[in-house]
Amino acid sequence: MKNKIIGIVNLFFGIINILLFIGLLQAIFKMNQLYADLGVPSSSRFFEYWDAGIIVIMIVANIFFSIKNLTKSKYPNKYFILGLICALLTFFIGGAVVSFLTFAIINPLYYLPSQP
């Protein structure tokens, strides 16, 4: 029973991260287009792509542990512990990722007042 619960939690976090990734891609492309139209100098997109990579890793890990915990596996206790660790890491790292994304996407707006 505990494996099913953590499997559902991992699946939930995996789906939330998929939605976050889709939203991130939309925001990156639309904001880059907006910044190009306004003539804002493009800064490094390192944080945006780094965060996208972290989100993809979290998606894969959560979906993997969701499948392992929702189906019968050879090592149910091992996958329970790893699924729980993955869910906790996703929860805490997810907050940091969203704050870095907000900063990375909005930061070029601070260059607008210095434009003539």
Domains held by the chain: number:
1
Residue with tokens 């965060």: 51
Q: In this model, does residue 116 exceed pLDDT 60?
A: no
Q: What is the pLDDT of residues 74-114, one digit of tens each?
A: 888 999 999 999 999 999 998 888 888 888 777 777 766 66
Confidence of residue 61 (pLDDT cuts 50, 70, 90): very high
| Cβ-based neighbour number of residue 80 at 10 Å | 20
**Cα 2 from chain centroid (whole Å):** 25
Q: How far is CA 42 from CA 84, 87, 108, in A?
A: 40, 35, 7
Q: What is the pLDDT of residues 16-49, one digit of tens each?
A: 999 989 988 888 888 878 877 877 766 667 777 8
Q: What's the whole-model pTM score?
A: 0.81
pLDDT at 49: 81
Domain that holds residue 61: 2-114
Confidence of residue 13 (pLDDT cuts 50, 70, 90): very high
